[in-house]
Amino acid sequence: MDLNFLINLGAFTGSGICIALGAVGAAVGTGITAGEAVNSYARRPEKSKEIFRTMLIGQAVAQNAGIFALVVAIMLLFVDFNNGGNPLIVSSALLSAGICMGMSALLSGYGASLPATEAVKSISRQPLVDSRLFTNMLIGQAICQTPSIFAMVVSLLLMFLKFDQSGVVLPYIGALLGAGLACGMGGMGSSWGGGMAGGACCQGIGRNPEASGPLFTSMLIGQAMSQTPAIFALLISFLLLFKGFGPEDNNFVVLLAMLGAGISMGIGGVGPGIGNGMAAEGAVEGVSKRSDETSNLTVTMLIGQAIAQTPAIFAMLVSFLLIFKSFTPEQNNIVMMMAMLGAGISMGFGGIGPGIGNGMAAKNAALGIAKSPEAGQAITRVMLIGQAVSQSTAIYALMVSLVLLFLI
Amino acid sequence: MIEINGEQIVQAAALLGAGFAMGVGAIGPGVGEGYAAGKAVEGISKIPQEAELLTRTMLVGQAVSESTGIYSLVVALLLIFVV
């Protein structure tokens, strides 16, 4: 039977998923920005020109991720991908490219519109610093965009690289789907979190323009930290893309291990990305209230973020173990397959809650220090105790994953 | 192709179920305990002299919230080792 129809099946399904998911975030986010711009007009009609300019450029930048998704969707529809490769592998690569770009654009578009929303609000509050707000908005947005650029790169690689040189099919299907999931989902939290920090910075400048220097610095540090899960995800995605497979790997166990690796890092990165963003949001808001406590707040933010990062590191560890695990021929059975998939799912989903929870604790700790700096030591101590307890479920998930990996 | 019998299907489903149980089950306690920790530090920033009481209450609350995480762990381990 001619299997070439599979290539179109994968490409068209991927295209639909890509633009369906990718359009949502940017549309919602830029709509909210427009709403706030109208509110700001009503408050300060004399600044309508500046508000309009900031809104329009902010929206254009937030729309970026949606445009990436559109480009990938159109390429999937109209480029001829029949490069002589195995149709099953090409098909799963194209589906994965669509999922990767769509997932990433979903929250990248929304995240990048948060700084724009806060910037147009703040112009009506502090009309004198409109150019400062404009610059800050653009830099904050640029950093939220990073995960969607990663996703674009991975999508292009998935579309245009040729993967099966040796007639091996099954492991490539899992690895390519896993690569798309890891990079697409792993960046979602990072872009939202980066957007929270950028939004808080624009809001803070509107509240306290004298502190715009320290606000900008703490925003950048916070955003850089919340970008980490996206970088972990890119790393896992590249490992999955460029790992070669031999004839001994041509079985379903390796397929599901690779898919599990993608799920673990992809879903496991979402929570820590959002949590780090919350911590940064709290610290930036704190700096806008007490700019004399900037160093104290930044240290608390960094400690809180380091702990919120832990589930992402666990997820990366499980992904590594799944990618580099070798199987004996007797292990080629359905029990082992589901154990590998289960290991990925356990750590992936298990990282969401602790990541977000730790971020909440760190956010309130930073806000608390801004309110009463003299209680800083007690606040940091209690934050750490609370985060340790919240971390325990991530450790349970890691334990279940390791049991599934090594004891079955 | 690989051979599959009924017993293997049951065990495979149990292992996949263990992954889901622990993975999804960890979301709630993680978020909930973080929320409690956040509120505790907020309280300490308002009344620093009551830090001890607030910490104690936070820990009790978190322990209760942890219980569903422990249930998930128990179910996952049962699925892996007993079923």
A220-241 pLDDT, tens per residue? 999 999 999 999 999 999 999 9
Distance of CA A248 to the CA centre of its chain: 34
The pLDDT tens digits for A308-360 are 999 999 999 999 999 999 998 888 889 999 999 999 999 999 999 999 999 99
Q: How far apart are CA A210 and CA A289, in angstroms?
A: 11
Contact A236, A182 (CB under 8 A): yes
From the list B15, B22, B48, the residue facing A378 with the nearest CB is B48
Q: How far is CA A254 from CA A169, A199, A236, A251, A328, in A?
A: 11, 43, 16, 6, 11
Look at the block and give the residue holding tokens 């949590």.
A275
Burial class (CB in 10 A: 0-12, 13-18, 19+), B49: exposed
The residue type of A377 is: Q
pLDDT at A165 over 80: no
* Closest C-alpha to A346, from A324, A327, A321, A329: A321
Q: How wide is the angle at C-alpha A345 spanned by C-alphas A340 and A347, nearest 5°? A: 100
Q: From start to end of A209-249, where are the E strands?
A: none
Residue of B nearest to A373 (CA): B45
Residue of B nearest to A395 (CA): B26
**Average of per-residue pLDDT values in chain A:** 93
* A380 CB-near residues (< 8 Å, 6+ apart): A300, A303, A365, A369
pLDDT at A26 over 80: yes
Which residues from chain B sit within 8 angstroms of residue A393, using beta carbons? 25-26, 29-30, 33, 66, 69, 72
pTM of this structure: 0.94
Residue of B nearest to A335 (CA): B12
* A283 CB-near residues (< 8 Å, 6+ apart): A218, A222, A297, A298, A300, A301, A363, A366
The pLDDT tens digits for A118-162 are 999 999 998 899 899 999 999 999 999 999 999 999 999 999 988
A300 CA: distance to closest CA in chain B (Å): 12
Which one-letter DSSP state was computed for residue A333? S
- Residue B35 contacts A, CB cutoff 8 Å: yes
Contact A26, A62 (CB under 8 A): yes
Which residues from chain A sit within 8 angstroms of residue B83, using beta carbons? none
Which residues from chain A sit within 8 angstroms of residue B17, using beta carbons? 342
Asked if the Cβ–Cβ distance from B37 to A400 is below 8 Å, we say: no
Q: What is the 3-state secondary structure (H, E, C) of A52-72?
A: HHHHHHHHHHHHHHHHHHHHH
Q: What percent of chain A has pLDDT over 90?
A: 84
B6 CA: distance to closest CA in chain A (Å): 11
- Residue B71 contacts A, CB cutoff 8 Å: no
Which one-letter DSSP state was computed for residue A248? G
Asked if the Cβ–Cβ distance from B34 to A356 is below 8 Å, we say: yes
Q: Which residues of A161-195 are buried (b: 16+ CB within 10 A; e: fewer)?
A: eebbeeebbbbbbbbbbbbbbbbbbbbbbbbbbbb
Contact B12, A338 (CB under 8 A): yes
A368 CA: distance to closest CA in chain B (Å): 5
More confident residue, B1 or A376: A376
Q: How far apart are CA A303 and CA A367, in angstroms?
A: 14
Which residues from chain B sit within 8 angstroms of residue A256, using beta carbons? none
Which residues from chain A sit within 8 angstroms of residue B27, using beta carbons? 349-350, 352-353
- Containing A114, the helix (H) or strand (E) segment is helix A87-125
Asked if the Cβ–Cβ distance from B26 to A332 is below 8 Å, we say: no
Is residue A81 very low, low, confident or very high in pLDDT (cuts 50, 70, 90)? confident
Q: How far apart are CA A191 and CA A236, in angstroms?
A: 18
Q: How far apart are CA A44 and CA A126, in angstroms?
A: 10
Distance of CA A281 to the CA centre of its chain: 16
pLDDT at B1 over 70: no
Contact A67, A148 (CB under 8 A): no
**Which whole number is the average pLDDT over B8-22?**
94
The pLDDT tens digits for B24-83 are 999 999 999 999 999 999 999 999 999 999 999 999 999 999 999 999 999 999 999 987
Contact A40, A124 (CB under 8 A): yes
pLDDT at A167 over 90: no
pLDDT at A1 over 70: no
Asked if the Cβ–Cβ distance from B22 to A337 is below 8 Å, we say: no
Asked if the Cβ–Cβ distance from B19 to A360 is below 8 Å, we say: no
Which residues from chain A sit within 8 angstroms of residue B73, using beta carbons? 396, 399-400
Q: Give me A201's structure tokens.
A: 């910075």
Asked if the Cβ–Cβ distance from A393 to B66 is below 8 Å, we say: yes
